[in-house]
């Protein structure tokens, strides 16, 4: 019987193909050869609003079979359908693989037999009538070849070269209407029947099952999930976690947490399958393994130092901390960030810093549109983080470099949250303007050649260095060429600009490169609210992640050179992002001012209507009444 899961208490379990208690984190390793290894982990959770978990997963690394099913059909039916489907499919796979059947054909047959069994049981028991389940499954023919079968809206994704791609198409009524051209993707996203399935296991005795073949490369990562994940988290946020977590166990747990933080309105199930990551990295990334093992404790041991530096730099006087006394401000802002970094180091992920930054930025921008306080706060957190890393470097320089790289990545995650929030606010502002005054001609919101906000401070923030060693230059140039190769299939038109500008700024280490000009080139003449801005932000994010990852693999035996190259490139990306953020803010100011004027005019008109209604009620001649002052 397979390792099925349908509750929420995480714990490690055996990787063998056997029955086990529901609700555990299931992980294992198998299917290895000299170049590839496959590791996996799965987790299912009831969510925050449902009383029962109607999802079911099976993780069988010994056979290379992984299943996610999401049941439906009332209080009893959903859980029963997914359980039966999971058990039948897993049993068919076990017997079929033992007899040597073709992997892809067998996976489709397993899904069909599961659907037939569910249909029969539903007709036998009135209380189960109408039950059914989605199905997405993967079977490995070998570590380099897998087959994916699916029915319904549970999904399979592939993470390759830092990019998350969907491998399956939802079998929903709305998705089919989009395919037929009857609905646009935007209409489908908000359609009230977006979750109504056009195909499931159990609704009919026989079901069409989609099958695809997947050829795998080292460092590929497969994600299987129920719609409780993608229904409550954006693909961009899912991509950050799937790409950032080192171990599949951490990725699974962080994805479940992400869905719950997004509302958790449904059961959520995920399975992460890694190909070659750990086999390839066991020798080349020993620093990463040590960071995962000892980094969190080393960071937390220096917590008081971190808080002291934040206090000395005046963090408590920030306008973001208004209304808090000094100890509260340090605890709430610096303490929370320090704890988030600790958990991310401990779990080899980035979800906790992302959550901290998202909550902070959302709260601040909800009451103020001022960007400088956020900039000052993150500068303070950066300085305190580097102080901790410097202190550790006094004991162990190599480990200090390793920790600094991880901490700088956390800070960049925070920076990208700011960018995402800014983009969202601009789009919302544009929608509000359109709703308030659809016929009003708005001023040109594009960037002019005469900036009203200085950009010099950003360039000055780079630390000048006297010499750029050959090892540093080699690491930078190698990372650029490798990143371009890794992203060669990505059609984002801004990637090449971002990659070249960041590399040139890093090489021009005395801060001579004018990044604000590149930011203006990226922003161009795009109007507020255009989806193009999201494409620009995506290019910044993808380029940053890819380049910094390649720095870790750069051919240098000098850890100091690697640290310098990482710092220069990280700073270059921050500078470019800062410049773009300020341009976005500047471009939005005329529109924001116009919106305020329209709101004031609307209020004056509302008061005038109210006054006239009062006058008419008392039968007074309107023309004899004095107009109130604005």
CA distance 39 to 28: 6
The dihedral sign for the CA sequence 401, 406, 409, 410: negative
Q: Domain residue spans in the chain?
A: 4-173+199-281, 285-436, 439-630
Q: What is the pLDDT of residue 283?
A: 42
Q: Does domain 4-173+199-281 have CATH number 2.102.10.10?
A: no
- Give the whole-number percent of the chain exceeding pLDDT 90: 33
Task: With a cut of 70, say whether residue 177 has pLDDT above it.
Answer: yes
pLDDT of 527 reads: 43
On the question of pLDDT at 34 being above 70, the answer is no
DSSP 124: H
- Separation of alpha carbons 566 and 545, rounded Å: 11
Q: Which long-range contacts (CB under 8 A, 24 or more apart) does 463-467 make?
A: 463/567, 463/571, 464/509, 464/510, 464/511, 465/509, 465/510, 465/564, 465/568
Q: Report d(CA 603, CA 630) in Å as an integer.
A: 10
Give the mean pLDDT of 146-171. 95
What is the pLDDT at residue 109?
97
For the domain made up of 285-436, give the CATH fold. Globin-like (1.10.490)
Distance, in Å, from the CA atom of 107 to the CA atom of 137, rounded to the nearest integer, reads 8
DSSP state of 557: S
Q: What are 96-147's pLDDT values in tens digits?
A: 999 999 999 999 999 999 999 999 999 998 889 889 999 999 999 998 999 9
CA distances from residue 623 to 526, 613, 615, 620, 627 in whole angstroms, order as listed: 47, 13, 10, 9, 9
Q: Which residues pair with 366 in a beta bridge?
A: none
Residues in the chain: 630
* pLDDT tens digits, 415-432: 777 776 766 666 666 556
Q: Which residue has the higher pLDDT, 74 or 452?
A: 74
Q: Residue 497: which of 609, 435, 572 has the closest Cα?
A: 572
Reference 425, options 587, 271, 612, 538; nearest CA is 587
The span from the CA of 547 to the CA of 481, in Å, is 9
Angstrom distance (rounded) from CA 390 to CA 133:
54
Average pLDDT, the chain: 77
Element (H, E) at 296: helix 296-301
Res 64: pLDDT: 96
Least confident of 27-31, 214-218, 539-543: 27-31
pLDDT at residue 459 in the model: 37
Per-residue pLDDT, 446: 38
Is residue 324 within 8 Å of residue 406, measured between CB atoms?
no
Q: What is the pLDDT of residues 346-392, one digit of tens each?
A: 776 667 888 888 888 888 877 766 778 888 898 899 999 999 999 99
Question: Which helix H or strand E contains 355, and what residues bound it?
Answer: helix 351-367
Give how far Cα 312 sits from Cα of 182, 304, 307, 324, 388, Å.
61, 12, 9, 17, 14
Name the residue among 349, 336, 338, 344 with its Cα closest to residue 301: 338
Can you give the pLDDT at residue 100? Answer: 94
Q: Is 601 helix (H, G, I), strand (E, B) or coil?
A: helix
Least confident of 118-132, 254-268, 330-344, 509-523: 509-523
Average pLDDT in the 232-261 region? Answer: 86
Q: What pLDDT band is residue 25 in, cutting at 50, 70 and 90?
A: low
Contacts 24+ apart (CB under 8 A), 591-598: 591/429, 591/430, 591/433, 591/442, 591/443, 591/445, 591/528, 592/369, 592/429, 594/433, 594/442, 594/443, 595/429, 595/432, 595/433, 595/436, 598/433, 598/436, 598/437, 598/440
| Angle of the 559-617 helix axis to the 470-486 helix axis, nearest 10 | 50
- Report the alpha-carbon distance of residue 4 to residue 412 in Å, rounded: 38
- Give the chain's count of helices (H) and strands (E): 22, 13
**What DSSP string runs through 219-254?**
TEEEEEE-HHHHTSS-HHHHHHHHHH-SSHHHHHHH
Distance CA 82, CA 227 (A): 14
Do 285-436 and 4-173+199-281 have the same topology in CATH? no
Task: Indicate the range of 117-121, 167-171, 562-566 predicted with least confidence.
Answer: 562-566
With both helix axes pointing from N to C terminus, report the angle between 470-486 and 495-507 in degrees, rounded to the nearest 10: 180
pLDDT tens column, 432-452: 655 554 444 434 433 333 333
| Interatomic CA distance for residues 223 and 165, integer angstroms | 10
Q: What share of the chain is helix, strand, coil (3-state, %, to 5)?
A: 55, 15, 30
**pLDDT score of 87:** 97
How deeply is 357 buried, as exposed, middle or buried, from its count of CB atoms within 10 A (0-12, 13-18, 19+)? buried
Structure tokens at 222: 């497969």
pLDDT at 546: 78
* Residue position matching structure tokens 């999201």: 534
DSSP 8-state symbol, 131 = -
List the single range of 11-20, 485-494, 593-602 with lowest mean pLDDT: 11-20
CA distance 367 to 468: 44
Q: Which two tokens stand for residue 187?
A: 């209409």
Cα gap 42→229, rounded to integer Å: 13
Band (586; pLDDT cuts 50, 70, 90): low
Q: Is 599 in a helix, a strand, or coil?
A: helix
Q: How much is the pLDDT for 588?
A: 55
Residue 148's DSSP bridge partners are 138, 212
Three-class SS state of 162:
coil
User: Is the pLDDT score of 93 beyond 70?
Assistant: yes
Pair type for strands 135-142 and 210-215: unpaired
Q: Is pTM, for the whole model, over 0.85?
A: no
CB 506 within 8 A of CB 476: yes
């Amino acid at each position: 019987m397979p390792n099925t899961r349908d509750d929420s208490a995480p714990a490690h379990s055996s990787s063998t193909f056997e029955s086990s208690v529901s609700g555990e984190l299931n992980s294992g390793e198998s299917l290895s050869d000299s170049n590839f290894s496959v590791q996996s982990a799965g987790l299912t959770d009831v969510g925050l609003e449902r009383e029962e978990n109607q999802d079911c997963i099976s993780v069988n690394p010994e056979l290379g079979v992984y299943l996610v099913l999401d049941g439906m059909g009332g209080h009893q039916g959903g859980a029963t359908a997914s359980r039966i489907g999971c058990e039948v499919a897993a049993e068919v796979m076990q017997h079929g693989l033992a007899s040597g059947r073709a992997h892809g054909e067998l996976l489709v047959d397993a899904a069909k037999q599961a659907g037939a069994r569910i249909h029969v049981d539903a007709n036998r028991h009135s209380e189960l009538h109408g039950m059914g389940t989605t199905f997405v499954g993967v079977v490995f023919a070998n570590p380099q070849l897998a087959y994916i079968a699916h029915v319904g809206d549970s999904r399979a994704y592939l993470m390759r070269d830092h990019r998350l791609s969907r491998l399956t198409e939802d079998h929903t009524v709305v998705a089919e209407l989009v395919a037929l051209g009857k609905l646009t993707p935007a209409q489908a996203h908000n359609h009230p029947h977006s979750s109504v399935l056009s195909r499931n296991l159990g609704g009919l005795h026989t079901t069409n099952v989609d099958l695809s073949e997947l050829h795998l490369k080292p460092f590929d990562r497969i994600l299987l999930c129920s719609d409780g994940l993608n229904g409550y988290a954006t693909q961009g946020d899912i991509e950050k976690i799937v790409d950032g977590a080192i171990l599949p166990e951490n990725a699974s747990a962080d994805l479940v947490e992400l869905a719950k933080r997004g509302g958790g309105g449904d059961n959520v199930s995920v399975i992460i399958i890694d190909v070659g990551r750990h086999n390839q990295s066991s020798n080349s990334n020993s620093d990463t393994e040590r960071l995962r093992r000892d980094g969190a404790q080393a960071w937390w041991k220096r917590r008081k130092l971190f808080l002291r530096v934040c206090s000395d730099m005046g963090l408590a006087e920030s306008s973001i901390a208004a209304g808090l006394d000094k100890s509260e401000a340090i605890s709430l802002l610096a303490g929370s960030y320090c704890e988030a970094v600790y958990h991310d180091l401990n779990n080899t992920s980035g979800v906790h810093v992302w959550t901290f930054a998202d909550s902070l930025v959302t709260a601040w921008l909800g009451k103020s549109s001022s960007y400088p306080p956020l900039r000052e706060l993150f500068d303070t957190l950066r300085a305190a983080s580097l102080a901790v890393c410097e202190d550790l470097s006094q004991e162990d320089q190599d480990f200090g470099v390793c920790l600094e790289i991880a901490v700088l990545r956390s800070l960049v995650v925070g920076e990208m949250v700011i960018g995402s929030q800014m983009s969202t606010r601009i789009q919302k502002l544009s929608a509000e303007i359109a709703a308030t005054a659809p016929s009003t001609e708005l001023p040109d919101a594009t960037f002019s050649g005469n900036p009203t906000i200085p950009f010099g401070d950003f360039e000055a923030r780079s630390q000048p260095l006297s010499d750029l060693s050959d090892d540093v230059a080699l690491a930078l140039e190698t990372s650029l060429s490798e990143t371009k190769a890794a992203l060669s299939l990505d059609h984002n038109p801004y990637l090449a600009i971002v990659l070249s500008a960041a590399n040139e700024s890093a090489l021009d280490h005395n801060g001579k490169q004018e990044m604000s000009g590149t930011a203006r080139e990226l922003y161009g003449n795009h109007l507020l609210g255009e989806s193009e801005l999201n494409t620009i932000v995506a290019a910044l994010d993808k380029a940053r992640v890819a380049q910094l990852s390649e720095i870790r693999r750069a051919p240098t035996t000098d850890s100091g050179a690697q640290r310098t190259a990482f710092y220069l490139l990280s700073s270059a990306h921050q500078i470019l992002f800062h410049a773009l953020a300020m341009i976005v803010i500047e471009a939005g100011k005329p529109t924001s001012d116009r919106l305020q004027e329209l709101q004031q005019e609307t209020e004056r008109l509302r008061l005038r209507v109210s006054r006239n209604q009062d006058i008419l009620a008392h039968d007074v001649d309107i023309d004899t009444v004095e107009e109130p002052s604005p």
